[in-house]
């Protein structure tokens, strides 16, 4: 039994949640090659709203700047991977079921109702960010999701087959775990 993961499932101290959200904010800003905005709020809902507005604005600005969406997507995936790798080490994630449990914990903090299975099937029934994102923005920012899950699993890939932002009742995706996990 993974004691760290079991404990995180029950309670994560507020200061650790805030630290993680600020780290995710910084990694995302770095992926967009811009400074981290002053998020000011120390409340988790306030930070999440600031993050949603920031990421939506940065995604929409790609049209204006002409920067390659593929390059930004790769940097976002790398940022998510970096974040997921840190969490993997801290929670000592070692199996597919632990990847799914850790993902559920992280996404709950982000205001996302994440459920997954060890075969890689993922369903998101509610997402805080769906109210801020266009379908294109959601597609771009989901590179963070792919990176995060790949970091938790030590590799892998994520493919969405439906999104709330596209009018689907839930986001559906499949995560391909790395061989050996």
Q: How confident is the model at residue 130 (pLDDT cuts 50, 70, 90)?
A: very high
Phi-psi region of 123 (alpha: psi -120 to 50; beta: other; left: phi over 0): beta
Domain boundaries in the chain? 3-176
Average pLDDT for the chain:
92
5, 93 Cβ separation under 8 angstroms: yes
Using pLDDT thresholds of 50, 70 and 90, give the confidence band for residue 38: confident
**What is the model's pLDDT at position 138?**
96
Cα separation, 144 vs 55, whole angstroms: 11
Q: Model's pTM, two decimal places?
A: 0.91
**Band of the pLDDT at 41, cuts 50, 70, 90?**
low
Cβ contacts of 172 within 8 Å, gap of 6 or more: 121, 122, 123, 124, 160, 161, 162
**Among residues 131, 107, 111, which one has the least CA distance to residue 47?**
111
Q: For residue 8, how many other CB atoms are within 10 A of its CB? A: 18
For domain 3-176, which architecture applies?
A: 2-Layer Sandwich (3.30)
CA distances from 139 to 7, 38, 104, 129, 142 (A): 33, 25, 20, 12, 5
């Amino acid at each position: 039994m993974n004691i760290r993961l079991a404990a995180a499932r029950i309670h994560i101290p507020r200061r650790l949640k805030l630290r993680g959200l600020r780290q995710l904010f910084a990694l995302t800003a770095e992926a967009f090659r811009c400074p981290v905005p002053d998020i000011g709020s120390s409340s988790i809902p306030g930070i999440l709203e600031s993050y949603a507005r920031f990421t939506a604005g940065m995604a929409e600005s790609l049209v204006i700047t002409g920067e390659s969406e593929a390059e930004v997507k790769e940097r976002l995936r790398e940022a998510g991977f970096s974040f997921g790798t840190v969490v993997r080490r801290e929670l000592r994630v070692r199996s597919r079921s632990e990847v799914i449990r850790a993902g559920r914990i992280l996404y709950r903090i982000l205001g996302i109702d994440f459920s997954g299975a060890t075969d890689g099937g993922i369903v998101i029934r509610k997402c805080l960010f769906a109210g801020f994102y266009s379908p294109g923005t959601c597609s771009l920012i989901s590179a963070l999701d792919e990176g995060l899950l790949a970091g938790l699993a030590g590799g892998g890939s994520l493919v969405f087959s439906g999104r709330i932002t596209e009018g689907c009742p839930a986001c559906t995706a499949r995560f391909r775990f790395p061989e050996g996990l």
